Chains A and B, each alone.
Chain A
Amino acid sequence: MRQNLQITAAAPDPALLDLPWDVPLEMWPDEVLAALPRGISRHIVRFVKMSGRVIAVKEIGETVAYREYELLRQLSRIDVPSVEPVGVITGRRAPDGEPLEAVLVTQHLQFSLPYRALFSQSLQPETATRLIDALAVLLVRLHLVGFYWGDVSLSNTLFRRDAGSFAAYLVDAETGDLHDRLSDGQRSYDLEVARVNIIGELMDLQAGGLLEEDVDTVDIGARLVDRYQRLWTTLTVEETFNAGERWRVAERIDRLNEAGFDVGELDITTDIDGTTLHIQPKVVDAGHHSRRLMRLTGLDVQENQARRLLNDLDTYAAAMDRQNDEEEFVAHDWLTHVFEPAVRSVPRELRRKLEPAQIFHELLDHRWYISREQGRDVPVPEAARSYVDNVLRHRPDELAVLGASGLADEDEDA
């Protein structure tokens, strides 16, 4: 029986048509699949190679598929870190005429890592807390734009390295809802679901021997709540002070910048007699440092990578005695004389292991480390050679953690 496929996509790729839609996802042949580690999902999910990229295909009910597609589109429009939706495909039929489930197709996030892959690589206990911190930032950002997630978990999140920490991306919006503004009840429910899910996921890693037995999973779950609440307060709390202390407005903005946020709109009100000032941030946008770096250099990187690069730029300006020059000019010179040569010194075949900004960050770390060891200021080109030979060469390939699985089928669709 012929299929009558319906493809809904913003920018359809004709290669989509070549995939075996008449076969249940569970039985797709290995040659179309990309060997990526799969998360825990209640649906069948497969990573598929298509036109030189990787897409994620999830079998899911038709109405839910359209709903999630729309939500993901809205989220990417308002610039929330989430996976990019590719489209929805319905009307699938097996050759015997049996109807098959609709699928939601999303773009696989390059250099992203599911938490289970991170734990299978290295057993550092800090990995867990870093993931939690990244997830707390993501949850605050989602709540600020009015997104209620409904099923916050490590499984529904992807992580990208971001200098010494991680940046989190939302992958599963199935249970989510976009509102004008979230109620405190919605936020606290999301947070409680997150806490319980995270602890459950970590307990599961312990049961599987991927996380040490003595790690206090309940404590890590509580850390999320704590991190979230502190950041939420920093971003939203109303402050009241004397009209004479106006410097506190600037101080509040600095504090928000420090936390990685820009103030889009600040509400300032005074009492009738003008002696008391109230300030409350109305609109805050994440990515303060990454936007600044983008403006100066055109580099599009994660927030903490941007911090690191901006610090190096400042060091460069100081070393060249150019602190009073126009920042744009200094940044341009730093880009062409420091950043680009360093990244280019990495052999081409090793570049896909990490994002360029992450390579640069690790190179700076490595340089600091060997400089201290050798008691001298090791020049960047020399540090780069040492980094490539002693560190990068031994790192797994993270453009798309191909073959790094080892988790293969044990955990699918549970």
Chain B
Amino acid sequence: MATVTYDHASRIYPGTERPAVDALNLHVEDGEFLVLVGPSGCGKSTSLRMLAGLEDVNAGRILIGDRDVTDVQPKDRDIAMVFQNYALYPHMTVADNMGFALKIAGTPKAEIRTRVEEAAKILDLSQYLDRKPKALSGGQRQRVAMGRAIVRQPQVFLMDEPLSNLDAKLRVQTRTQIASLQRRLGVTTVYVTHDQTEALTMGDRIAVLKDGLLQQVGTPREMYDTPSNVFVAGFIGSPAMNIGTFNLAQGYAALGAAKIAVPRAAADAISSGDQGSITIGFRPESLDVVPAGSADGIPVIVNLVEELGSDAFVYGSLSDELGKAVDTIHSGAGDGQIVVRVDPRQVPHKGETIWVRIRPNEQHLFHAGSGERIAA
């Protein structure tokens, strides 16, 4: 087992100017489950393929443990791409299906048997080792395929959107299986997905990329609680954070008809690049419904209520002094929309105006110019 280190690693495709991955610095601990996540074209798959040896590294280095693998052939990197191929061979037993790559590599028979048995134990397949794949259920077959990668005992597992091919229900099941399996095996794993829910539920840490640049890396909790910029704030979390850019005057941001107090330290941090504005983010669950006209209360016109049983979400608009909607805010629901989590037993009606207040210390403040978080 080993650590993985990207050291200023860049990939520039021939004929393009902007790097697909730009000076990536990232250190994955031994045994850690790291998820690379971001929108399409952010460079997450390219980063993984650089580690796999499938993409050239044009600048910088990549290390597995202390070994510089930048120019090492893929097959000599001691990594396993999982799920690339899980067609099983019908005439071979489950044990042979799991161990055949070791046989090709010339591993002694007794050792193959030991490794296969160990893997089977972890995968709950011990009693099926001498059967043919035909006798297995779909889920068991998939575990045999995982067993193939496990018996090779690679230093690192690489997974590139392994669940994209599954339907929604199976995806959730397999997600849990992979995560718990990885924890039991303790093999360093780098996992690529575009789905932030997958990232939050599976990763020990998450690295968010955008336009080839690493935005932030941290535990799911850190990413959720202290996003380091506006992009990460909007990307992580579902429903997404409400984010708006507002004028700042005398220590107050004007949110539609409401005025929100901005801490002095944050107001002092505003620079010329921000042009007198501040970007404020608050999650749907960071809002309390308060009586009309409360101090720091923000009026929201209800457009739609989504009831989920355990939760209810109001999708609404901020209104100006005249009660008209303003579109200085955006959220996962779109521009001009604000999302509020409300008590599912007390949902407002469409067209009503409710008043909400951001809970103390639950707002996120960013520079309007650079989008960077303003340290509280």
Within 8 Å of chain A (Cβ to Cβ): is B360?
no
Within 8 Å of chain B (Cβ to Cβ): is A290?
no
* Of the residues A60, A185, A411, contact of B73 by C-beta under 8 Å: A185
* Of the residues A185, A199, A201, contact of B54 by C-beta under 8 Å: A185
Q: Which residues of B contact A193 (CB under 8 A)?
A: 84-85
Q: Which residue of A lies closest to B86 (CB)?
A: A42
A115 to chain B, nearest CB (A): 13
> A414-B87, A414-B134 in contact; A207/B167 too (CB < 8 A)?
no
* Docked pose: A209 CA to B14 CA in angstroms: 49
* Of the residues A63, A183, A204, A205, contact of B55 by C-beta under 8 Å: A183
Within 8 Å of chain A (Cβ to Cβ): is B15?
yes
Q: Which residues of B contact A180 (CB under 8 A)?
A: 13-15
Within 8 Å of chain A (Cβ to Cβ): is B376?
no
Enumerate B27-82 residues with CB–CB distance to A below 8 Å. Answer: 52-56, 73-75
B88 engages A414 (CB within 8 Å):
yes
B86 engages A205 (CB within 8 Å):
no
B289 to chain A, nearest CB (A): 37
B15 engages A204 (CB within 8 Å):
no
A154 to chain B, nearest CB (A): 11
Within 8 Å of chain A (Cβ to Cβ): is B133?
yes
Enumerate A45-74 residues with CB–CB distance to B below 8 Å. Answer: 60-61, 63-64
A207 engages B84 (CB within 8 Å):
no
B91 engages A188 (CB within 8 Å):
no
Q: Which residues of A contact B89 (CB under 8 A)?
A: 40, 200-201, 203-204, 207, 414
Q: Choose the segment among B96-104, B221-229, B265-273, B313-321 that binds chain A (4+ C-beta atoms closer than 8 Å).
A: B96-104
A207 engages B91 (CB within 8 Å):
yes
B90 engages A411 (CB within 8 Å):
yes
A196 engages B87 (CB within 8 Å):
no
B91 engages A189 (CB within 8 Å):
no
> A40-B90, A101-B167, A185-B56 in contact; A192/B84 too (CB < 8 A)?
no
Q: Which residue of A lies closest to B93 (CB)?
A: A207
Can you sample 22 A-B contacts with CB below 8 Å? A40-B88, A42-B85, A61-B166, A61-B167, A153-B85, A180-B14, A183-B54, A184-B56, A185-B52, A185-B56, A188-B75, A192-B75, A199-B100, A200-B89, A200-B100, A203-B92, A208-B90, A210-B91, A221-B104, A410-B90, A414-B87, A414-B133
B91 engages A175 (CB within 8 Å):
no
* Docked pose: A181 CA to B87 CA in angstroms: 28
Within 8 Å of chain B (Cβ to Cβ): is A41?
yes
* Docked pose: A193 CA to B92 CA in angstroms: 19
For the complex with contacts A101-B167, A208-B91, 10 further pairs of A-B residues with Cβ separation under 8 Å are A151-B85, A155-B87, A180-B15, A185-B74, A188-B75, A189-B75, A192-B75, A196-B101, A208-B90, A414-B87
B157 to chain A, nearest CB (A): 16
**Interface residues of B, Cβ cutoff 8 Å to A:** 13-15, 52-56, 73-75, 84-92, 96, 100-101, 103-104, 133-134, 141, 164-167
Q: Which residues of B contact A81 (CB under 8 A)?
A: none
Q: Which residues of A contact B92 (CB under 8 A)?
A: 203-204, 207
Q: Which residue of B lies closest to A62 (CB)?
A: B167
Q: How many residues of A contact B (CB 8 A)?
A: 41
B295 to chain A, nearest CB (A): 49
B74 engages A414 (CB within 8 Å):
no
> A61-B165, A153-B85, A189-B53 in contact; A204/B73 too (CB < 8 A)?
no
The 6 nearest A-B residue pairs measured at CB: A208-B91, A204-B89, A207-B91, A411-B90, A414-B88, A189-B74
* Docked pose: A322 CA to B221 CA in angstroms: 84
Q: Which residues of A contact B141 (CB under 8 A)?
A: 414
A224 to chain B, nearest CB (A): 13
B87 engages A40 (CB within 8 Å):
yes
Within 8 Å of chain B (Cβ to Cβ): is A350?
no
B73 to chain A, nearest CB (A): 5
B86 to chain A, nearest CB (A): 6
* Of the residues A61, A153, A209, contact of B164 by C-beta under 8 Å: A61
* Of the residues B54, B56, B164, contact of A63 by C-beta under 8 Å: B164
B90 engages A204 (CB within 8 Å):
yes
Q: Which residues of A contact B134 (CB under 8 A)?
A: 410, 414
> Which interface residue of B13, B14, B54, B88 has the most chain A CB atoms within 10 A?
B54
A204 engages B91 (CB within 8 Å):
yes
Q: Which residues of B contact A61 (CB under 8 A)?
A: 164-167
Q: Which residue of B lies closest to A182 (CB)?
A: B54
Within 8 Å of chain B (Cβ to Cβ): is A197?
yes
B354 to chain A, nearest CB (A): 37
Within 8 Å of chain B (Cβ to Cβ): is A218?
yes
Q: Which residues of A contact B166 (CB under 8 A)?
A: 61
> Which interface residue of B13, B52, B100, B164 has the most chain A CB atoms within 10 A?
B100
> A181-B14, A185-B74, A414-B133 in contact; A64/B165 too (CB < 8 A)?
yes
B31 to chain A, nearest CB (A): 25
> A204-B90, A221-B104 in contact; A175/B74 too (CB < 8 A)?
no
Q: Which residue of A lies closest to B104 (CB)?
A: A199
B164 engages A196 (CB within 8 Å):
no
Within 8 Å of chain B (Cβ to Cβ): is A24?
no
* Docked pose: A308 CA to B338 CA in angstroms: 73
> Which interface residue of B14, B87, B88, B89 has the most chain A CB atoms within 10 A?
B87
A186 engages B54 (CB within 8 Å):
yes
A81 to chain B, nearest CB (A): 21
Q: Which residue of B lies closest to A207 (CB)?
A: B91
B35 to chain A, nearest CB (A): 19
Q: Which residues of A contact B104 (CB under 8 A)?
A: 196, 199-200, 218, 221
Enumerate A296-328 residues with CB–CB distance to B below 8 Å. Answer: none
